[in-house]
Chains A and B, each alone.
Chain A
Amino acid sequence: MEAYLGYFLYFLSLLTVGGIYAILALGLNVQWGFAGLFNAGIVGFVAVGAYTYALLTTAESTFHLGGFGLPLPIGMAVAMLASALVAALIGLVCIRLRSDYLAIATIGIAEIIKLIFKNETEVTNGPRGINKIPRSWEHFSEERFYSSWPMSWFGTPENWEAFFDSLPNWYWQPLFAGTIILVVFAIYKMLERARTSPWGRMMTAIRENEPASRAAGKNVTRRRIEAFVIGAAIMGLGGAFLAQHLRLIEPTNTFDPSKVTFLVWVMLIAGGSGNNRGAILGAFLIWTIWSASELMISGIIDLITAIFSTMDASILQTRAGFLRMMLIGILMQVILQRYPGGILPEVRPASPKADTKTADPTGDTK
């Protein structure tokens, strides 16, 4: 029974982290898949979201600014807003330039954001990071939540304490994973709606043929900034969830560009850029491969050390992670060259009413 519980919890953690990556991949899909904007600084927007959430929701602390102890949904909403604001500033400057420049600028802004989080020790506690970030559902068992409104309405702190003691200590895991899956689904529904709406079709037109859409009177720059900002807001939300999942964030290792930016890119390209379902599929698939390969490689290392008993396994263990990164990079190159459409290639957005329109004899084609 214990073993099955272990598998179940492992599966839940796959769902949790896969779901967080799915949120990020959906955000990137708005920017790259819809509008063709190359964002090479995903990690910057994620960091903004994560730090905003962390500063707003943690309990009062002497190490960093505030710890405002605000309710979690407010933290997440502000995280989205903050990320969107940063994206709007970059968008205003760089969006009219060719995509290469946007890539350079975003990679730069991501580094600057990390630099700020590292150097402004008064606000962010610098390289030591912020810890004890409240995680959805698990936070109910923290004293400052159950002893205050609204939980104090339903029971005294003692009652709550007894209640949480009676639950298994992993009670929050299915709930947290479920919340993330629900959020992924909600974002997916909204983006599907956006994709088939006139806005989404205009996006495709701009991406495919900018001069033509400009000639047709579309405000190309504005639309692009919109896509960039919406994508960044979704990434900010992803960042807030990442902060919840990790509970400790610091600027350098948590927000490693190769593990965030690059992995999300591989996910989107593998799943199929431009296709929201593809983005979600790619995220879960690549994340499963990524974490399964960790188990596999450690198994292989055990095998090697069993055969060559004189060998020092620690060198292999530290370097195996980088080998994994390299293989993922090669996988990305193969997909780019052989299967440029990804697993679920993009389906061009048609108006949901297109079929009924053609059947309607008097219908105009607007």
Chain B
Amino acid sequence: MWDAFGFEFVNFYLIPGLVLGCIYALGAIGITLTFGILRFANFAHGEIMMSGAYLTYTVMAIVAGAGLSLHPLVAMVPAAFMVILLFLGTDRYFYKPFRKEDTIKVVMASFGMMLIIRSAVQVIWGPNQIAFVPGIAKPNAWLQSFTGDLGAMIIMPNKHLFIFAGTVIIVIALGYLLNRTRIGKAMRAVSDSPDLAHVTGINVDKVINATWIVGGICATAAGVFLVMDTQTLETTMGFRMLLPMFAAAILGGIGKPYGAVFGGLVIGLAEELSAYPWIGDAPLLSPGYKTGVAFAIMVIMLIVRPQGLFKGRSF
């Protein structure tokens, strides 16, 4: 039954929700790993994501100056390297001095980092919006005609297909890393119990660096996917994403990357579907309050089940 209802629901609510969910999921992976392994809520994560998007934009602009046009997904690779360096640099100079101290000091330091990074981006690139990819994204014609023939027309621009594919690839690669490689297993061990991991001879410093690298790659991808979707670069977008990403990490359980992916998808879908006219003709929730949905889910989780759906750690 693919009537007007299904067409509208899938194309204007479900798919945007999944796209947003993918972006949240990638961001939340970094947050949940940092929270699980380094044991602090990294407030600077959203800003790092945002700077990743700006760096990608700059790489594209430089290459375009040489007369070539580069796809954001390719330009993302050098940007991810810079983001990883940024992560490792902030860790080395701002977080490491507090590692032996009370965790709240690191949270505070990351809170300060959030402002430093955002102001730095505003100084370098200016506070105004920048168009990332100009023009209107046309739906993928092949997919439209193929699904149209099947009687369930799906309208999806190429950018959304790239976002889905990119997220799936990154999540599969992450699964391989965490389950099959030595460093990935060490990361899980440190996340479960740092003392026990230390006693068994795991090099905790190495694990921490690996965490920043994985988080950096995911954060860059999330930032680039976000600007691919919205097509504009804004300096406030990192801060806007922060709360839904924390909500996703808490929903999935702190320290559980798959939980974060699931949480991200749930939060993204919930935000978009909350504006669907479930009862009557008016949207269930005014679209202005979309951001509030993530917060509501987070608060409910904190009351009912602070360890998250997948039994992460709760402090």
Residues of A within 8 A of B (CB): 36, 38, 40, 93-94, 97-101, 103-105, 107-109, 111-112, 115, 118-119, 257-258, 262, 265, 269, 315, 318-319, 322-323, 325-326, 328-330, 332-333, 336-337, 340
Contact = CB atoms under 8 A, between A and B. Distances in A.
A119 B94 contact: no
B120 to A, nearest CB: 6
Given A97-B315, A333-B94, A105 B40 contact: no
Contacts of B126: 315, 318-319
B41 A103 contact: yes
Interface string B289-315: 101100100110011001000000011
B274 interface: no
B303 A115 contact: no
Given A115-B292, A337-B97, 13 more contacts: A38-B107, A93-B303, A97-B302, A100-B40, A101-B302, A101-B315, A108-B243, A108-B299, A112-B295, A258-B115, A325-B122, A326-B120, A328-B115
A329 B112 contact: yes
B160 interface: no
B118 interface: yes
Contact of A319 (B122, B303, B314): B122
A119 B299 CA distance: 21
A109 B299 CA distance: 10
Contact of A325 (B41, B108, B119, B299): B119
A336 B315 contact: no
Interface of B: 35, 40-41, 43, 94, 97-98, 103-105, 107-109, 111-113, 115-116, 118-120, 122-123, 126-127, 239, 242-243, 246-247, 250, 286, 288-289, 291-292, 295, 298-299, 302-303, 306, 314-315
Nearest to B242: A107
11 contacts: A38-B108, A103-B43, A108-B298, A111-B295, A115-B289, A318-B126, A319-B122, A322-B122, A323-B119, A323-B123, A336-B108
Main secondary structure of the interface of B (DSSP, over half): helix
A318 B243 contact: no
B249 to A, nearest CB: 9
A269 B306 CA distance: 30
B123 A336 contact: no
Contacts of A112: 291-292, 295
Contacts of A111: 243, 291, 295
B116 A333 contact: yes
Contacts of B288: 115, 118-119
Given A115-B289, A322-B123, A103 B107 contact: yes
Contacts of B291: 111-112, 115
Contacts of A340: 105
Contacts of B118: 258
Contact of A333 (B107, B112, B123, B302): B112
Contacts of B122: 319, 322, 325
A98 B35 CA distance: 12
Contacts of A330: 116
A336 B104 CA distance: 11
- 5 nearest interchain CB pairs? A98-B315, A326-B119, A329-B116, A322-B122, A119-B288
B41 A322 contact: no
Nearest to B239: A257
A108 B299 CA distance: 10
A118 B126 CA distance: 25
A94 to B, nearest CB: 6
B128 to A, nearest CB: 9
A40 B114 CA distance: 12
A329 B93 CA distance: 14
A11 B107 CA distance: 36
A336 B115 CA distance: 15
A104 B115 contact: no
A318 B298 CA distance: 37
A330 B122 CA distance: 15
A336 B298 CA distance: 30
A330 to B, nearest CB: 6
B315 A100 contact: yes
Nearest to A326: B119
Nearest to B121: A322
A69 to B, nearest CB: 29
A97 B299 CA distance: 11
B127 A318 contact: yes
Contacts of B113: 329, 333
Contacts of B116: 326, 329-330, 333
Point out which of B98, B104, B292, B314 has the most chain A C-beta atoms below 10 A from its C-beta: B104
Contacts of B43: 40, 103, 107
Contact of A119 (B111, B242, B286, B306): B286
A93 B107 contact: no
A104 B97 contact: no
Nearest to B286: A119
B102 to A, nearest CB: 9
Nearest to A335: B112
A105 B119 CA distance: 24
A347 to B, nearest CB: 20
Point out which of A104, A330, A332 has the most chain B C-beta atoms below 10 A from its C-beta: A104
Contacts of B242: 107
Point out which of B97, B105, B123, B289 has the most chain A C-beta atoms below 10 A from its C-beta: B123
A329 B247 CA distance: 26
Contacts of B286: 119
Given A108-B243, A336-B112, A322 B295 contact: no
Contacts of A38: 104, 107-108
